[in-house]
Structure 1
Amino acid sequence: MTAALILALAAQPAAAAASPRTIQIGIVQQAQQLMVVPEAHYTLVEPSGVRWEVEPGREYRVLPLNLRQVRFGPWEVPADSRLEPKDGGGTVKVSGSRYRGTLIVRAVSDGTLSLVDEVGMEDYLPGVLAEEMEPDWPLEALKAQAVVARTFAYYNLNRFRSEGFDLGPDTRSQVYKGVGRENENVRKAVSSTKDEVLGFDGKLLGVYYHSCCGGHTTSPRSVWGKWIEVPRPLKGVKDRYCHHCPQSRWTAYFADADIMAALTDQILGTTSIDSLAVGKRDSAGFVEDFRIYSRGRVKVDAKDFRKRLGPKDFKSLKILRVIRRSKGIEFVGSGMGHGVGLCQWGARYQAEFGRNYEGILSYYFPGSVLSVVTDE
């Protein structure tokens, strides 16, 4: 989307968009081939304007020919050809997932294909919500998530422009698998917050969200080491609601051998671990580094430590206890995810206790302004 974004107070009526707001999602990268099934009337449009009518329900095989051409079913067409819905609606099935919008087929320098879904922002968001939050959760929690997801998308437009799209379909951006898990609850959450975003100091706020904070959200500086000055809405808040989440307490055990293998470049020459302890914590209680003792002391960055051991088991850096076992280390932790911004489980229980989405957003982003996006 090239239109400039302006923030206006949500209490004012949203200005009509001068042009459709679209976003490009790189839904497939480095594919050797693709199987595409239009589920409505679509047209394959070459960059020159040449048009080919495709049949609804027919499966088309897409193959790379070279950097300039691809084969789409029976046709050889230039790369960057577009599969456009004739009436603006309908879906296309790609590898089992269904997508709205226009699909752009691109050839990549390594001889593979990429596929980009160019879709309206408000049509993109239901697919995000259905993957990032449970679709049957309370509506007010989903509405809060919709505002945060929309703000994240606008704030991060063009993040992957060097790769030919705005955002990815995974946790590098926001998880997006098309329309598969959408339901009426999700669609209502998006439509009832149409164009609403969070702002601060007259600009879009760089928001984040996660599953469960473990009792206190933290600052992006603690997690990513950036933001020379963290804006007030992102400094972190105490959360008395998320203790209901299933990950409010968890344990993870790692054998000494697995820890040493994961950190082999940092603990060279170490054949055993005498002990492991928490080093520094941030103000919210998240661990910033660990200390490993064996023939001396080694300080290990906590984010790198978690990444190497695997975030699926090492659910967060809110570590409550470290227990030495006979052949390994047991961690007792709280929460799940990086802990910055909206706590989804906290939002769920706030909604169940009667708080509306505006209140939920104010709770997790104090000082932010609920605004609308308009075109300049």
Structure 2
Amino acid sequence: MWIKLEEKHFKVIAIGIILLSLISSGIFAYYNHPSQQETKKTQDAQADYDLEKLLDEAKALYYQGEYKASIDKYKQILDYEDNKIARKNLASVYETLGEYNLAVEEYEALLEKEEDVESRLDLAIAYYNLDKIGKSKIELEKILNSESEDEFILRDTNYYLSLMSFKEKDYQQAEEYVKVALEYDKFALGYYQLGEINFVQESYSIAIDNYRKALITDGSLKGVNRMIALSYLNLGQDRDAVMYLKRANKENSSDKVIQENLERIKEAHPEYFDDKDLTLPEERKREIPKEVTFKEIEPIESPGRELKIGITEDEEEVYFRVGSDFVIKEGEKIILEGKKSELIKATIRDGKYYLVAGEKEIEFSNSIQVRPKEYAPVLVHNIIYGRGYYWGGIEDRQYRGSLELIPQENGITVVNLVHMEEYLMGVIPSEMSALWPREALKTQSVAARSYTLANLGKHSDDGYDLCSDVHCAAYRGIAREHPNSNQAVLETAGEVMTYNGKAVNAVYSANSGGYTENSEDVWRFEIGYLRAVSTEKEDSRFPLSPVELKEWLRESPDSYSKAFQYTKESHYRWQRNLSIEYLENSLDIKEIKKIVPTYRGKAGSVKSLLVVGAEEEKEFTYNLRSKFGGLRSNRFWIQPQYRDGKLVSFLFYGGGWGHSVGMDQVAVAAMADDNYQYLDILKHFYTDITIEDRY
């Protein structure tokens, strides 16, 4: 009995052992099969892998200038999956750093999976910068043979084909390509390229015409004045070359070719240098006319408080007239009575100040006021405006109100004493076309009035409230007044935007490029009502990823800022190519190797740039537009350009014109066309504001 039971038990145990062995081997095989191992690895890591989170982290690192960390994040994503978005962004970061070999690998991998015309263009440009011209041409020709209708892609495709044909000295083909590019976009670099083609073929007169078109499109484009000067020299027209030689020398004082030609011509023809450069109005004065015609003006009701607007300062001589009989007072004392249109000169001589009226000469030592006896204009001759800007000049100006002349240590300061609404009548059409929609002009009126009140005393140390130039608000007096803008001012008289009970510093720019910026992302301080807002008709998801930002700046997305009836195409999207020679001279850095943004705002504006030279690094913060060749805005994407293995320039793709904080003037006009009312427009651009009537 015992023996039988033991045998039965043994059989059960044996069967159990066999079953356990089979189950164990199956489990072992399951977990050690390659595909199952990978599945388990993926499942275990899934808790740590969140695609959207990693993409956002990589984007944030890119905006902070942490490029290596951003690259690592995108690579981390690619370790998990062959993600198209991550790969395109990774390639774009490599491009920013000028690492085109690595960018090529990513674009080739993308194109193996599926056709993407933008990636193909980027691959072609990367090949071009690696001097792989043959490969670049193949990719560009594929784009031309595709069904792409994207204008910016076709523009850049033909532009780069022109550059390659130019390099191969096939000038006829180069000209054909760039002319096609210009059909898609009248861009400044296209006209410059056409000028270069004409120049090497010794068609200097035609070259000058195309170089000038480049300047008309972008007046601060660098290198153009140099080429116009050289074209005139090759034509033997030294006199015509002088002005452009001087401008080129101002752009790049280290250019020996320009310096040598200036010295040669000056020695042979000093008389050529008597004609002052029109870009330097302070070096010349126009002849004072014997007679003038005064504007007819009418007084307005409730003109508001009196303001002190600085017109010009540190002048050795000031010539002025009044449109009625007038008195000049020093304090309460009348020191001169004058007749309508009588020419008066104020001057400094041997440290003393004098009024000169015909044969009379009256000394004064304190501020004097010129007061019309009737409501009539006051006129000041030879007002310099836009000092230091390519659009600067000199003109006579008439103003409402009266004048104050302040004797200062270095000369005479001229101030216009004018009431708020009278002042705005001159400001609004100087800041916005009086032919734009009425609601836009009313929007501008409230914004300018608010800005004026918020900034009163900005120039108190100089003896006045605000200046008359772009530093404060453009103010050119009566000459700019127009019935449309005057009506807009009067219809909104006294209306002011406030935030927490204070007048809003209602800054504005010409064109935001499709999205405004937070104040702290452009300047130093966070201001509650100056928040980034979209002007796009279909809002994009800002901040954009690296590749989205690049594409957004290269193409021309639809937005209220893209209203070409109110702005030039080159004010909405622009390109600028700055040579290494220019940058090294301008920034005083030798052998520049790299230029990369180290911080971007929400809408992509660059707040700081790192420039890496052979022996030093410099980080530039604020005023980037002027430091880097007069860029139209701070919102740009930089692409290093190489030729024969050498870094030769940096290509900037930019959007908008101005600082992009607050109101976008072009978008305002387009929104008015779309039946937006001025109060709604103001509340779109200035967050959480209140409209108050101050009169």
The TM-score with structure 1 as length reference comes to: 0.86
Structure 1 range deviating more: 48-57 or 175-184? 48-57
Q: Which moved more, 1:23-32 or 1:58-67?
A: 58-67
Unaligned runs of 5+ in 2: 1-300, 383-395, 537-559
Which residue identity lines up with residue 604 of structure 2 in the other structure? Answer: G
The answer to whether structure 1 residue 344 and structure 2 residue 628 are counterparts is no
For residues 207-226 of structure 1, the aligned pairs below 5 Å read 207-226=506-525
The residue that corresponds to 2:167 in the other structure is none
State the alpha-carbon separation in 1 of the partners of residues 407 and 615 from structure 2. 53
Which of 563, 566, 577 is 1:253 aligned to?
577
Q: CA deviation at 1:88?
A: 3.6
> In the alignment, does 2:404 pair up with 1:104?
yes
Instruction: Please say if 1:285 is aligned against 2:604.
Output: yes
* Mapped contact 2:522–2:601 kept (Cα < 8 A): no
Q: 1:333 to 1:290 in 2, by over 3 A?
A: same
**Unmatched runs of 5 consecutive residues or more in structure 1:** 1-15
The yes-or-no answer on 1:32 pairing with 2:305 is no
Counterparts of 2:632 and 2:688 in 1: how far apart (Å)?
29
The CA deviation at 1:275 is 3.5
Structure 1 partner of 2:281: none
Task: Find the counterpart in structure 2 of residue 11 from structure 1.
Answer: none
Given that 2:446 and 2:495 are in contact with CA atoms closer than 8 Å, whether structure 1 keeps it comes out as yes
Shift of 1:294: 4.5
Match of 2:423 among 124, 127, 136: 124
Q: Distance in 1 between matches of 2:414 and 2:367?
A: 9
1:343 counterpart letter in structure 2: D
Structure in which a larger fraction of residues adopt helix: 2
Structure 1 residue 365 corresponds to structure 2 residue 686: yes
Amino acid at match of 1:39: G
Tell me, in whole angstroms, the C-alpha distance in 2 between the residues paired with 1:162 and 1:66: 24
Query: Which string of whole-angstrom CA distances, capped at 9 and with x for unpartnered residues, describes residues 180-222 of structure 1?
Result: 1211111111111101111012221222011111111112222
**For 1:68-108, what per-residue CA distance to the aligned partner results, in whole angstroms no more than 9, with x for missing partners?**
74324224153312111213443334331111111011111
Task: Confirm or deny: 8 A CA contact 1:210 1:336 kept in the other structure.
Answer: yes
User: How far 1:67 moved relative to its partner?
Assistant: 6.5
Q: Deviations over 1:308-360 (max 9, x none)?
A: 1233xx10011145342532111010001001111011101011111121111
Offset at residue 306 of structure 1 (A): 2.2
Indicate if the aligned counterparts of 1:278 and 1:322 stay in contact, CA closer than 8 A. no
More moved, 204-213 vs 58-67: 58-67
Of 76, 81, 103, 2:362 maps to 76
The partner residue of 1:187 within 486, 509, 512 is: 486
The 5 A counterparts of 1:3-82 are 21-50=305-334, 52-65=336-349, 69-73=353-357, 74-78=360-364, 79-82=366-369
- The aligned amino acid for 1:257 is E
Amino acid at match of 1:219: N
Letter in 2 for 1:252: R
Higher relative contact order (CA closer than 8 Å, sequence separation 6+) = 1
Higher strand share: 1
* Residue 176 (structure 1) aligns with: 475
Shift of 1:132: 1.2
Is the alpha carbon distance of 1:209 and 1:27 closer, same or farther for their aligned partners in structure 2, counting shifts above 3 Å? Answer: same
**1:59 offset after TM fit, Å?**
1.5
CA shift, 1:300, in A, is: 2.6
Whether 2:377 is the aligned partner of 1:90: answer yes
Judge conservation of contact 2:322–2:376 (CA < 8 Å) in 1. no
| 2:636 is equivalent to residue 319 of structure 1 | yes
Contact 2:575 2:651 in 1 (8 A): yes
1:149 CA displacement: 0.8
CA distance in 2, matches of 1:289, 1:299: 10
Offset, 1:125: 0.7
User: Corresponding residue for 2:459?
Assistant: 160
Query: May I ask how many residue pairs the two structures share in their alignment?
Result: 347
The alignment yields a C-alpha RMSD, in angstroms, of: 2.2
Q: Aligned with 1:92: secondary structure? A: strand
Normalised by the size of structure 2, how large is the TM-score?
0.48
Residue 86 of structure 2 corresponds to: none
